[in-house]
């Protein structure tokens, strides 16, 4: 795909380097959000599973576990939001 984009740029009277830069930026954006979402996804699943296990063992501690879980999930989700931000910056530069 990168080769086709680079070869098609002169046909459209564009600078050959700008098309290649655009293709690489889009590829980088896809990789950034792809890899940036794997870690938080696994972390969120693991955190919720452990919280449910802890609540199952000690139902009286549910309010404290729930509060700590929500704060922790916010921190984990921030990583995915930063990855999305980086992907958008790369895609629309």
23 φ/ψ angles, rounded to the nearest 5 degrees: -65, -40
Model confidence over 37-48: pLDDT tens digits?
Answer: 999 999 999 999
- Is residue 79 a part of any domain in this protein? yes
pTM comes to 0.67
**Is there a domain that residue 5 lies in?**
no
Alpha carbons 44 and 31: distance in angstroms, whole number: 20
Of 77, 78, 55, 58, which Cα lies nearest the Cα of 66?
55
10 domain-assigned: no
Q: Are 87 and 33 in contact (CB under 8 A)?
A: yes
Q: Classify burial at 4, counting beta carbons within 10 Å of its beta carbon; exposed 0-12, middle 13-18, buried 19 or more.
A: exposed
Residue 83 lies in a domain: yes
How many domains does the chain contain in total? Answer: 1
Inside any domain, residue 88: yes
Class of residue 87 by CB neighbours under 10 A (exposed 0-12, middle 13-18, buried 19+):
buried
Residue 74 resides in a domain? yes
- Domain with 66 in it: 30-93
Say if residues 34 and 83 touch (Cβ distance below 8 Å). Answer: no
Instruction: Give the CATH number, domain containing residue 68.
Output: 1.20.20.10
Q: Tens of pLDDT along the chain (93 residues)? A: 555 555 555 555 556 667 777 888 888 888 889 888 999 999 999 999 999 999 999 999 999 999 999 999 999 999 999 999 998 988 888
Does some domain include residue 42? yes
**What is the pLDDT, as a whole number, of residue 47?**
94
Closest by Cα among 31, 29, 10 to 19: 10
**Domain assignment of residue 8, yes or no:** no
């Amino acid at each position: 795909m990168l080769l086709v984009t680079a070869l098609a740029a002169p046909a459209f009277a564009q600078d050959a380097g700008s098309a290649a830069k655009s293709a690489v930026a889009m590829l980088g954006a896809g990789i950034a959000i792809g890899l940036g979402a794997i870690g938080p996804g696994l972390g969120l699943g693991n955190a919720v599973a452990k919280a449910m296990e802890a609540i199952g063992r000690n139902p009286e501690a549910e309010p404290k576990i729930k509060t700590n879980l929500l704060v922790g999930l916010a921190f984990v989700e921030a990583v995915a939001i930063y990855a999305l931000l980086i992907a958008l910056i790369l895609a629309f530069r």
